[in-house]
Structure 1
Amino acid sequence: MEYGKVLRFHRVKQGLTQNQLADGIISPAYLSKIENDQTVPAFEVLEHLYERLGLDFHDSSYNHPSKEKLKEWYELIVFKKNEESRKCMEELIQQKDTLNNHHLYIFFELFRIRHLLLENEVEKAYEAWKDIRQYEDTFDEEMEYYFHLGSGLVLYYQGDYENSYLQLMEAKNHSVSINLEDWEESDLYYLLALSASQANNISASIFNADQALTIFQKQYNLVKSADCHILLGINYGRLKNYGKALENYHLVSKIATQTKDYYQLGLVYHNIGVIESRRGNYEAALMNYKRSFSYKSKTASVHEIFETIYCLILEYYKLNELEDCSKWINEGFSYLNSSINDTTTDEIHLNIYTMLINKDNNAAHYLEGVAIPHFLERKQHRFVIRYCLILSELLEAERSYKKSSKYLRLAIDLLNKYSNLGGMIL
């Protein structure tokens, strides 16, 4: 048994210093050696330390859920079985040693991070992640794996996709030393593909999506296979390999129609709309976005619905069909008003196109002072590029040539740095 890690875990949990725990028993320096597994103390010493922490050194009842029960809970979380996951968590909490046993508590908290993200409790997940970090030097290899995986997910939900991918790669490095089941391995590859895609690391996303797809197909997991095909379609589209992209999207359409998965149908028609827009087939793009909206409005979150509304606004604006553009702007505001989550980013998009349609003289000031800094801070480069190009034109019309050139250069620099975004900008 790793007595040092157990002692440190409970000492930190109870807010005691090494001096406080060691006082009258041993020296703080010797306690430090015990906690770092640099020495094996006498049982009498351990008994005294355990007693001060309110633990029974001789307790061997192990009246707690098995590790397998925790893994069952984690599997429910991974497969997004919300209700079953909540019920299982409550059962685990009722077992007192889930929270008192060092080994079980660490795994419970690491899995709880992902449970909270499943419930869209992002801030609570972040707090749980910050809390568990203080025990990191007591982690074994398996704990390190779940910690880095959880870190990657928290960063993903916060929109920091590059660091999310790096953390998930750290998890992959630790996975070599532990035995992952097939469903966990495919989950890891899929998360790597997802974060790499958002970070615009196309080759890494395609590689990991292919790895995940191979495992999902062996498991006859149609839903997750379709998710992989969506990622592959997105990335082949970025490479302007539209034939390969559409091939993947049509496979998703076939699977989602068979499984009656309206959420995936909403995603696939949205992405087909993106492809048609890039190819200059604006009417086809509009048709697919509207089909996507009809499916998303039944199943998707407000933010996901807004993504399609935004694309409809953009297409109608490019076609100079301003009445339809205004209609979808109003639709966007109605959805945002019904949302309980932060909608600042989405509101900025709507404000911009409202100003552009109305030829508002404050449009350039809003783009320069609010919109572009907002998207720069969030590293959402495609929007920075798009709005820099619009701002450059507005400033040029105002004969502010120096400022116009500044934003044009910023757009060009970002386009050169993130050349794979080229098809997503205009």
Structure 2
Amino acid sequence: MLVGEIFKFYREKNGISQSNLSKEICCKTYISRFEGGKVSISPDILSKLTERLGIDLNKEMKALHHIEQRLKDWDLAIIMQNSIQIEEIKKELESIPFIKASKYAVYYHLLTARYYLHKKMLPETKSIIEYAEKNFQRISDFEKSLLLHIKGMFCISTYRTTTSEDFREAVKILKQINIEEYKNEEYYYHLALGYHYARGKVLAYTYAQKANDYFIKTCNYLQAINAQTLMLMQFESENDIDFMELVESYMNLIHNCENLGDNEKKRILLNNLGVEFFKRKDFEQAAHYFKKSLFMTDHTSFYYLRRFYNYIESCSEGQLLNIENLLEEVKKGIALAKKHNSPIHLTLFNLLLLNCKKNRSGYYDYLAKVAIPQFASTNNVFYYEQYGKKLYKYYMELGQYEEAIELIQFFSDSGNQRDIPIETNQVKAELEWI
């Protein structure tokens, strides 16, 4: 921003016309050319104009030259997840009145969207994305890549909560980024997340490894744990990695979380380790780690509901509780699902309830009429594949081949066709996407 633009900003802010500002100092045309950066101005006239506007020009110029560096600092603080620094710089930037009128306005708006993502304020993020796409037509290659990065992250954060977002869309968006201009290798982590949700395990692992290398190089150890967690989640069977080696890797990451004081990542890793045991039908060990994660989780949070379901599911599959206690816990789960207004978990606990009551016909009727359509419509891939497999086997067992074919057709029509007999885990592992 030129000095003249600072004057223009404060003149318009104070509702002063060019004629009134220039009165008895200089001509109106001179003010117009000065604000447009076409002419310089003498110190004497500059002093009089400054006094009339009531601004400290030296202070404003210092703030102007400071903006670019502080925006870069804010960007880095968000990447490093330094919450204290994030908030401090945010307040500092908000105190600069002309920042939205400066040449850094686009960068500032986009970083504000990135801030909202960090705070999980998704409606606010979406609003800025839409505003940027409508109003920011001429932006630098770096800003284009930053906007694409934010859009990709937003897509990852919302695809399972809306029917309008395709979970492959994040990859399509992020692949458009010009890394040579952007130079922010953190985006590899979000590209890995996109491939993970799109079931592209090889590429998910590849990009997670690139992200991990970047995080280690930049001493961003908390994000390195996220990248390493994502890498571990790409191993589906003991053909991919020795199970004890996998467990050891999880335990090492858990130990790193303890050293770094990050209890949330520790809770996630304990939950995910439980998933690995669950996939191998070691329900006792699965329940053990789910319970440890659950014990550390705030009872009022949505994560508690998710982890509580994982724990109860393991207890049910492994027959670790007597039927009376299991029914009591399932009813607690139903109450929690209602409290958190989570239709998916309400459905899952209702299925557990029907199973506990040995109501086989009611179970499969509910599965066909309520659960499968709900899982498909909300992009819950793991659940509709798992329960689709169960329903498919049930139809085949009863010789209801027409219903089995209709089920396959349903998956095809919903745009999510899979080979239904594939074995997948019901409980979902967790990731930090930010």
- The separation in 1 between residues aligned to 2:218 and 2:263, in whole angstroms, is 22
Q: How many angstroms does 1:175 deviate by? A: 1.9
Whether the 8 Å CA contact 1:113–1:128 is kept in 2: the answer is yes
Aligned pair in 2 of structure 1 residues 188, 201: CA closer, same or farther (>3 Å)?
Answer: same
Q: How many angstroms does 1:197 deviate by? A: 1.7
- Is 2:75 aligned against 1:74? yes
> What does the per-residue CA deviation read over 1:109-154, in whole Å, with 9 as the maximum and x for residues that have no partner?
1111121121121112111111111134312101111000000011
- Is 2:194 aligned against 1:190? no
Aligned pair in 2 of structure 1 residues 170, 387: CA closer, same or farther (>3 Å)?
Answer: same
Aligned partner of 2:232 in structure 1 is 233
The 3-state SS of whatever aligns with 2:176 is: helix
For 1:383-394, what aligned pairs fall within 5 Å after superposition? 383-392=383-392
The 3-state SS of whatever aligns with 1:200 is: coil
Aligned partner of 2:419 in structure 1 is 416
Aligned partner of 1:155 in structure 2 is 155
Whether the 8 Å CA contact 1:329–1:354 is kept in 2: the answer is yes
Aligned partner of 1:58 in structure 2 is 37
Q: How many angstroms does 1:410 deviate by? A: 6.3
Whether the 8 Å CA contact 1:316–1:324 is kept in 2: the answer is no
Q: How many angstroms does 1:395 deviate by? A: 5.7
- Is 2:179 aligned against 1:175? yes
Aligned partner of 1:146 in structure 2 is 146
Q: How many angstroms does 1:202 deviate by? A: 0.7
- The separation in 1 between residues aligned to 2:136 and 2:378, in whole angstroms, is 28
Aligned pair in 2 of structure 1 residues 158, 74: CA closer, same or farther (>3 Å)?
Answer: same
Aligned partner of 2:19 in structure 1 is none
Aligned pair in 2 of structure 1 residues 396, 209: CA closer, same or farther (>3 Å)?
Answer: closer
Whether the 8 Å CA contact 1:82–1:119 is kept in 2: the answer is no
The 3-state SS of whatever aligns with 1:138 is: coil
Aligned pair in 2 of structure 1 residues 327, 212: CA closer, same or farther (>3 Å)?
Answer: farther
Q: How many angstroms does 1:80 deviate by? A: 2.7
Aligned partner of 2:333 in structure 1 is 332
- The separation in 2 between residues aligned to 1:417 and 1:106, in whole angstroms, is 47
> What does the per-residue CA deviation read over 1:297-329, in whole Å, with 9 as the maximum and x for residues that have no partner?
48xx83333332222232233235544543443
- The separation in 2 between residues aligned to 1:234 and 1:227, in whole angstroms, is 11
Aligned pair in 2 of structure 1 residues 176, 423: CA closer, same or farther (>3 Å)?
Answer: same
Structure 1, unpaired ranges of 5+:
11-46
Whether the 8 Å CA contact 2:152–2:170 is kept in 1: the answer is yes
- The separation in 2 between residues aligned to 1:380 and 1:418, in whole angstroms, is 17
Whether the 8 Å CA contact 2:67–2:93 is kept in 1: the answer is no
Aligned partner of 2:381 in structure 1 is 381
Aligned pair in 2 of structure 1 residues 110, 270: CA closer, same or farther (>3 Å)?
Answer: same
Cα-Cα RMSD: 3.6
Larger Rg: 2
Aligned pair in 2 of structure 1 residues 204, 126: CA closer, same or farther (>3 Å)?
Answer: same
Aligned pair in 2 of structure 1 residues 329, 98: CA closer, same or farther (>3 Å)?
Answer: farther
For 1:253-402, what aligned pairs fall within 5 Å after superposition? 253-297=254-298, 302-320=301-319, 321=321, 322-336=323-337, 339=340, 343-358=342-357, 359=359, 363-392=363-392, 402=402
Whether the 8 Å CA contact 2:277–2:285 is kept in 1: the answer is yes
Structure 2, unpaired ranges of 5+:
10-28, 41-56, 160-165, 428-434
- The separation in 2 between residues aligned to 1:288 and 1:378, in whole angstroms, is 28
> What does the per-residue CA deviation read over 1:13-35, in whole Å, with 9 as the maximum and x for residues that have no partner?
xxxxxxxxxxxxxxxxxxxxxxx
- The separation in 1 between residues aligned to 2:311 and 2:326, in whole angstroms, is 7
- What is the aligned length? 366
Aligned pair in 2 of structure 1 residues 379, 154: CA closer, same or farther (>3 Å)?
Answer: same
- The separation in 2 between residues aligned to 1:334 and 1:297, in whole angstroms, is 16
- The separation in 2 between residues aligned to 1:125 and 1:155, in whole angstroms, is 11
Equivalent AA in structure 2 for residue 166 of structure 1:
K
- The separation in 2 between residues aligned to 1:279 and 1:361, in whole angstroms, is 28
Equivalent AA in structure 1 for residue 176 of structure 2:
E
Aligned pair in 2 of structure 1 residues 221, 125: CA closer, same or farther (>3 Å)?
Answer: closer
Whether the 8 Å CA contact 1:161–1:196 is kept in 2: the answer is no
Whether the 8 Å CA contact 1:385–1:411 is kept in 2: the answer is no
Aligned partner of 1:403 in structure 2 is 403
Aligned partner of 1:92 in structure 2 is 93
> What TM-score do the two structures reach when normalised by structure 1?
0.74
- The separation in 2 between residues aligned to 1:56 and 1:326, in whole angstroms, is 74
The 3-state SS of whatever aligns with 2:35 is: coil
> What TM-score do the two structures reach when normalised by structure 2?
0.73
Q: Which structure has the highest helix share of the two?
A: 1
Aligned pair in 2 of structure 1 residues 82, 374: CA closer, same or farther (>3 Å)?
Answer: farther
Equivalent AA in structure 1 for residue 307 of structure 2:
T
Q: How many angstroms does 1:81 deviate by? A: 3.2
- The separation in 1 between residues aligned to 2:273 and 2:404, in whole angstroms, is 34
Equivalent AA in structure 2 for residue 125 of structure 1:
T
Aligned pair in 2 of structure 1 residues 236, 401: CA closer, same or farther (>3 Å)?
Answer: closer
Identity, in percent, stands at: 15
The 3-state SS of whatever aligns with 2:36 is: coil
Aligned pair in 2 of structure 1 residues 370, 109: CA closer, same or farther (>3 Å)?
Answer: farther
- The separation in 2 between residues aligned to 1:92 and 1:260, in whole angstroms, is 30
Q: How many angstroms does 1:368 deviate by? A: 3.1
